[in-house]
Structure formats: structure tokens, C-alpha cells
Structure 1
């Protein structure tokens, strides 16, 4: 891996940030700071497990997509064997980009510069003028595409470029209990419905990651019309109820909104709700059956949202799930990916309805997405100002909260849902990576 030169002054500043998080304080400038961005690339994204793709995006042999870890463009492909491989999208001869399309199907990749050919699993198999030009001086086995370590959970493909990173199962830890709400809606799991929405925004990735780690505080303000017009299955007075659940030492967190009297698994077709009761554990059924809204983040930059949405205001809503990736491309600038996840075994009618609800609410041009993006961009712009260097934000909500002893799920679980405990956990883990503790 590349060297990591960070000045003593920067190291001291990062330690100061770490100390402040424990007191419920976090500096504004980190949400739009060139030095912070550079350190994040080296210490966070080069060491963490980062989401690459959902297996259903590459269902057939030869299917591939291109994604990123930090500034490394990767090919994520299903090889002819059926296995999934990730490789750096760079020819080993002179460094040309191999795949110029973001998705496609190919058994082999041929460099457009000098013609080196690789299998979609990364092995070098063809070198023009091999005999005449190289005279046996290279062994093709030594010059395959640079491999990236991958592991999967319930259809999610993660990659890491740190050879010493712990197994993905250990990295996710007990948060898998909550991920199952999005990924195991039935015995066959979930799949993406259509290609991802994909755009660039003047937003720092951390603002979006925090928001989706369980920020129910903004909803009655930023999305107030959703309550007034009947799009949401809750009200401003009940929206704060529920639980904030985080996994200490991991950075992952989820907000579970609960509305008293809300029917179990409301928004799912009854046959799908029955399937979930069979496929999930009794503890998961107890939690998820009474969950209205579930909004969570897998550290560092993968988020999910599930909620019922009433396409016709006032009528019963349909559940949709959005999965979102925030790829940082500069200080205060993010490449956004957004997918719609649907239960694989659900009816086509339900999948269409869920996709329509997702599109109207939280796709690229979704009504509530625009609310968030406008606020996030303004926060990012403010965070980059000169005076913001000396400003801190308060993260003191729920500082004295104790774990709900009756909650059957794992982690540090507190009430109400509107709480800063998930965010303190998120930034504590971020600071672990930034200060070289991981």
C-alpha cells in the first residue's frame, strides 16, 4: 500500500477531534476539507470493507460493473466459473483503462492501447508479439490484473484493498441482524430492480452517511409536507418514537421508527409478510414487525432506507427499499449511487409498485431526495468557509441514554429514535481509522 505521510500537526488535530467526539462535539470543517479528504482516502477507504455491487447486478457469467474504492476504479465481474472477482481497471502493460463502460458482458477484456487480453477473472491470456517482442522474458502468470479481495453477505459484494483487514463477517458484526431486514425479505433474499441512479453532487459523503445512520430529527422539518399531505405513515408527533441501534466499535447504525398502532409489516403484501415471518429469526420478527421506518448506514459509506410510502396521499403505503453508496471524489464532492431493492420472490406487481414509490420519493429526482440534497449541499458549502475552521457541532442528544433492556436486538439500543448516539458511534469509528487505530 502507498505510504501515509501525515504531518505531526495533522496527527495532533485528529487526536483532538477524537477527544471531542467523546464529549459530544465534532468540528464543522471536516465536512469539506482537502486535508481530511486526502487522509480519508489513505486511512479509511484503503482499509475498510467498501461496498462494490449487489450480486443481482451481475447475474450471468461475463456480466460486469465498474465501481470504486477511493480513487481506484475496479472491474467487478462474474467469471466463467460463476465466481465473482474484482480487479483494478488498469492494464498491467502501460496502465490503460481496460473497461470504459460502467456495465456490460464480456468473457475477456482487451486493452485498446497495445492489445493485452485478460480473462474476466483477471488472468493475462494474450500478449501480441509475445514470441517476437518479449523472447520469453515475461511469464503471463505474473502479469494479470491486480486483484482486490472480495467477500459477500446476503447478496452484497464488498471489497477491501487492505490485505490485513478482518473478515467481512467480523467487520459487519452484529449489524447483520439489522441488515437482514433489507436483504432477507423472504427465503430467496432481495435483488436490485433496474440499474442504479447515478449522479454527482456538491455534498460531502459524511453528511449523507450520517443522515442515513438514523437522522429522524430532520424528517418533520425537511420533509414536513410529507406528513401534511399524507405520504408518510406517521405524524410529526409520533415520528420520534422508536429505537436508535448502533454496534459499538464498528461504526454501523440504524434508526428504527415505530408508530403506535401501526399494523405489523404494514406495506408488505400479506404473503410476503408471512414469508418474512418464516425466514427471519423470532427476535428479528419481533423487531421488524413493529418497525415503520428503518434507515441505516454500514460504515463507511453504504446506506439503506425502508419505509411505507403512500403514492396516493392518505391511502395505505407500499414498502420500498433504497440502497445507497456515497463515493467521495473530492472535498465536499460525492458521486452518488442509488438502487431500489425488492424481494426476489415478490410478485411483479409489487416490485413495480415498490419501484414507483422509490422513484417518486428517493431516486435521483425523488421529491424527498431533493429536500435532502439541497440541505446537504448548503451544509457542505458552509463547512468549507474560513470561519468554519473554528466551529463545532453539538452531538449531545442522548448522551446519558442507557440501553433499552427489553429490546431483543443486538448493539447499543436506546430510545427514542431521534438520538445522537448512532452518530457518536459513527464518528468514533471514523476517528479510529483517521488516527491510525485500525
Structure 2
């Protein structure tokens, strides 16, 4: 992999930011040690990052362990029902406190020297406290390191920056589009089963970009889906729709629309009617036209919603997948993938949606295999010495005017196949790397 000299890195970031404004982005960014290190230092140390869905820890004592950058975090529900997040590290000598990725425990006990904490992070037990410390150690001063958290519609986010803006400000107008994935009925959504979880030789940014609205690849990488009847659209109509982004925030969504696709098609009729009472009038007008929706919450949380025919040619079942791309090194990431289902839906529909998700975007899903094969090859190419100064074109739609008839917020252009969302994504990424956020 290529690596920039530290003295050159700041200049490279500024040149990259200028290139983004002109419709270019460097290939090297997708597999470079110095870029990865800078992302850890300036991006993941400050941005709001997704940790878990509240339905993963429904009961007192439930917990999961997740990551923000290179920091392992315990997200746990306390005995009072409140959710807490703490660095997964003992304050005595730094041992990992919780070695399981999920479970239930009211307390965590260090396997090294036995320090014991409530799952809220409070230190309550120190072996040989009186004999060893002779009153010099106060338990209240040595709690686990807390992580600031907040939530939106069941999504728990954390930030390592105590001075950062609120989560509401961070998400901004993109909450309008997030509701498309999260407010399926009055009870909202829940995760269905544990997340699929695997390692891949893929850079996280390729995935985040793809799910920020890349409808351009679908008729090529997934063309079999059209030919065999798994899509309720065709290659010629798939590009229709809108690309919506929140300027200056990095968030973006691609909304695919097919002229003959029924409003809220793929949902049970009773659920579709219930959603109309949950969404605002503007949301209902937009969402009822949407066939496929792929979106990314900056930096590395993405969603996809689409109908998928369990039997080719038959009406599709609408499913939602939520996915997190956790970087573990240059050109390498840990993938988490969940299925979201309407909490108030029937078991029959939940099972059908989960099956559609598994066949399409589970770890061994057909679409997932298409994507990861391409993403891994892009990542490998990005490490080549010859591409150190090679840029990719991001100029599609640079002259597009906002759609004056679209009632949703943000910068919205048509068609859905467009680079506008990507330029917005990389502009925000550049702001963080330049330490200007």
C-alpha cells in the first residue's frame, strides 16, 4: 500500500478537497496507511458513529460490544432501563472487560485483577482495597471511561468528542429520509435476528459511497436480477428517481422510482395504510413513490430498502437492511449487517422480509457477493504504486439544478444516477481530515 510522508499529507488533503469541488477524487484514498491513520485521528474521534439499535438490548443487563474507530465500546442497558456506553477497558491496567460481543450481565469483572464494575460503568469492587490502597484510592474516581451517546428512532449513536454538536444537529434534515427506514408503523422497527458479521479486504469508504446512492452500478453488477425477474423494474427504468443529500453534512440517499410501481408496494396493505398516519404529508408524498432507497449516514452507516421477489416474477417482499462498515486497517474492514422489520407487523411478514434480506444482502446474499467482489478488487487496485496520483471522475450531474417539484429537504436532483451525493460525502470527509469541523 502507498504511504504519504507526514510532511506531504496536509498538502495532499487540501489538493484532494479542491479536486472534489472540481469533480475528482483520488484512488489512493481507498487503500493508504496515512489516510487510514488520519481518519482515526480526525474523523472517527469526532463524528457521531452508529453503535447499536435499541431493540438489540431490550432488557436490563443486555449488552453488545461495538466500535468507534479503533475503540471497543460496551453498550449496555442498566437495571433502570437507561442505556450506557463505556470504553471496554478496565481502568486498573487496561484489560478488556467484556470479551463477548453480546450477552446479559449486570456487572463486568476484570479477569486480570478482579476489578468489578456495574454495567453502567461504575466501579464497585476492588480486591484488597483496604490492605492494598490504604485509603488512597476512591472508587468514584476510577469508573470506566464513558462515551457520549444519543439516539434517534431506536438508533444509538456515540461520539468521542464531548464538545461536538448534538446528534439532532448532526443528522439535520436527513432525519426526513431516515424515517423511511425506521417508521414502518406506529411501533417503529426492530432488528430481526443478530447481525451478520464478517471481515473483508475492502475499504469502508467504497461501501459508504455505494450506498449513498449508486444506482449506476445496479444494471451492470446486478443485471441478473432484472433478467431473472427478481426486480420490479428494468435496466432502462432503474435510473429514474432522485438523489437527495444534506449539503455540508455528508449524508445522502438515492430514491429509485418506477412509473408503474404501486405506492408502498411490497408492504402488507394494512402496514402501508398505518405508515401514512405516521409519516408527514410531505413524507407520504415522497415515500409512496419510492421503489428502492439506498442511503448513508456519514460516515459509515448505510441502509437499503427494496422489494425482492422470493419467487422470480412474483410480487416482491419489501425488506430493509442496515449496515455498518467498521475500518480495521487500510483497505480492510469489519462488516455488520442487520435486517430491520416493522415491530408491529405479522410474524409471517417479518419472516418473509428476513428471508428476502438473507437471499439478497445477507453475508452469502446474491447481491452482496456481486458488490464485495467488485469492492475488493477496487481496494486492491487502490494500493498499486501506479495509482498514487490517479484520480477518479466524480463529475456526473455537476450542472444539475435542484428539482423544483420535490417536496423533501436538502439538495435533490434527478435522475437517481448522479454523483452529487458522492461529492457531498467526500467534501464532508475532507472537512474532517483537514480538521476543520
Measured against the shorter chain, the TM-score band is: over 0.9
SS at match of 2:344: coil
Q: Secondary structure at the match of 2:234?
A: coil
- Partner residue in 1 for 2:52: 53
1:7 Cα deviation from its structure 2 partner: 3.5
Q: Deviations over 1:193-226 (max 9, x none)?
A: 0000000000000000000000000000000000
1:86-105 map, 5 Å: 86-105=85-104
1:431 positional shift = 0.2
Report whether the alignment pairs 1:341 with 2:340.
Answer: yes
- The match for 2:206 is 207
The equivalent of 1:17 in structure 2 is 16
> Quick check: 1:261 aligned with 2:260?
yes
Shift of 1:87: 0.3
Aligned to 2:76: 77
The superposition leaves residues 18-71 of structure 1 with CA deviations (integer Å, 9 ceiling, x where unpaired) of 000000000001000000000000111000000000000000000000000111
Residue equivalent to 2:114: 115
Q: Deviations over 1:119-140 (max 9, x none)?
A: 0000000001111111110110
TM-aligned CA deviation for residue 8 of structure 1: 3.9
Aligned to 2:275: 276
Map 1:283-432; keep pairs closer than 5 Å. Answer: 283-432=282-431
How many angstroms apart in 2 are the aligned matches of 1:117 and 1:316? 54
Tell me the equivalent position of 1:38. Answer: 37
Shift of 1:309: 0.2
Q: Deviations over 1:153-210 (max 9, x none)?
A: 0000000001111000000000000000001111111000000000000000000000
TM-score by length of 2: 0.99
Question: What do residues 388-423 of structure 1 show as CA deviations (whole Å, max 9, x unaligned)?
Answer: 101100000000001001101000000000000000
> Does the residue aligned with 1:306 lie in a helix, a strand or coil?
strand
2:221 is aligned with 1:222: yes
Instruction: Note the 1:161-200 alignment, pairs <5 A.
Output: 161-200=160-199
Give the TM-score, by structure 1 length.
0.98
Deviations 1:285-338 (A, max 9, x none): 000001000000000000000000001000000000000000000000000000
**Match of 2:64?**
65
1:72 to partner: Cα distance:
0.5
> SS of 2:276's equivalent?
helix
Q: Deviations over 1:54-112 (max 9, x none)?
A: 00000000000000011110100001111111100000001110000000000000001
Instruction: Indicate the RMSD between aligned Cα atoms, in angstroms.
Output: 0.6
Alignment gaps of 5+ in structure 1:
1-5
- Which residue in the other structure is 1:124 paired with? 123
Runs of 4+ in 1 over 4 A off after TM superposition: none
Aligned residues: 433
2:392 partner SS: strand
Say whether residues 1:149 and 2:148 are aligned partners. Answer: yes
In structure 2, how many angstroms separate the alpha carbons of the residues matched to 1:293 and 1:172? 21
Q: Which residue of 2 aligns with 1:3?
A: none
> How far apart in 1 are the matches of 2:389 and 2:9?
15
What does residue 232 of structure 2 align with?
233
Separation in 2, partners of 1:233, 1:249: 34
In structure 1, C-alpha distance between the alignment counterparts of 2:17 and 2:433, rounded to whole Å: 9
